[in-house]
């Protein structure tokens, strides 16, 4: 049921992106906003569902396999979208994208994060699959299983590694690049998923753990918003 749900989200988002591409080419701002929102919605909705499958046996092989598989799927179906506020900052910093366009895309990403959370909570409330039972009663299921300083350093390090790998992979054939990036993300999730969740995406972190941001806004914004952005700026400064 979970796989069918996530596949349905991917297909629906693909249709929406195609429709926007056909109808809104003459309105670049609205087109960019909607495409970024649809794409980020797909990643946030699927990752919300994947977060419920972490305890499926055999552990952690099932969760890691699904993480790799859907990361490849996202890479193949969401070409041209960043789906990450940190990634949107790069062309803005380099002058390739206007501040207005960058701000519009980041707004779309966070709007999609909220919509994906609302949508998935509605689906979970229907309790159509076994993993959905009791999913809404967890509240702040904190992914931070270490000190705030260590969590900050881990997310910062993971962001630097990920952004550096993305830059280095630009010269790789696209059909191989998506697998390399997916493999790296899976390795990072395996290495730090039990400590911080290994998210390094501010919009995705908010979609997954909005309740925790409400309860401990300062610590969670430092770890899941500031650390990834700082990692991105470190890479931009070095290169």
- Residue 131, pLDDT score: 79
- Residue 146's SS3 state is coil
Q: Is the pTM of this model over 0.85?
A: yes
Residue with tokens 């918003």: 225
162 within 8 A of 185, measured Cβ to Cβ = yes
Cα dihedral sign, 140-144-145-147: negative
- The domain 2-238 having CATH identifier 1.20.1080.10: the answer here is yes
For 174, phi and psi rounded to 5 degrees?
Answer: -55, -35
- Helix (H) or strand (E) run with residue 60 in it: none
Cβ-contact 132, 148 below 8 angstroms: no
Domain boundaries, the chain: 2-238
Q: Write down the pLDDT at residue 139.
A: 67
54 and 126 in contact (C-beta within 8 Å)? no
Return all residues near 224 (Cβ < 8 A) that are at least 6 apart.
155, 199, 202, 205, 206, 209, 213
pLDDT means per 10 residues, the chain with 239 residues, are: 92 96 88 96 95 80 92 93 89 82 95 96 86 76 88 95 88 89 95 91 94 89 94 84
Nearest CA to 209 out of 171, 129, 158, 155 is that of: 155
Residue 40 CA to residue 82 CA, distance in Å, equals 8
């Amino acid at each position: 049921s979970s796989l069918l749900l996530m596949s349905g989200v991917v297909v629906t988002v693909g249709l929406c992106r195609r429709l926007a591409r056909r109808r809104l080419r003459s309105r670049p701002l609205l087109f960019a906003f909607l495409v970024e929102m649809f794409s980020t919605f797909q990643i946030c909705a699927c990752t919300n569902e994947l977060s419920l499958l972490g305890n499926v046996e055999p552990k952690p092989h099932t969760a890691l396999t699904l993480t790799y598989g859907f990361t490849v799927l996202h890479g193949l179906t969401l070409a041209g979208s960043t789906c990450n506020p940190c990634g949107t900052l790069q062309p803005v910093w380099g002058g390739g994208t206007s501040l207005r366009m960058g701000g519009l895309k980041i707004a779309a990403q966070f709007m999609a994060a909220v919509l994906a959370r609302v949508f998935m909570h509605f689906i979970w409330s229907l309790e159509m699959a076994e993993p959905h039972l009791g999913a809404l009663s967890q509240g702040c299921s904190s992914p931070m299983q270490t000190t705030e300083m260590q969590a900050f350093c881990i997310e910062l390090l993971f962001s630097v590694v990920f952004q550096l790998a993305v830059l280095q992979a630009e010269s790789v054939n696209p059909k191989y690049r998506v697998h390399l990036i997916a493999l790296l993300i899976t390795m990072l999730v395996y290495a730090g998923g039990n400590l911080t969740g290994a998210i390094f995406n501010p919009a995705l972190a908010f979609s997954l753990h909005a309740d925790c941001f409400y309860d401990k806004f300062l610590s969670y914004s430092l770890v899941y918003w500031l650390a990834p952005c700082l990692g991105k700026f470190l890479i931009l400064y070095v290169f």
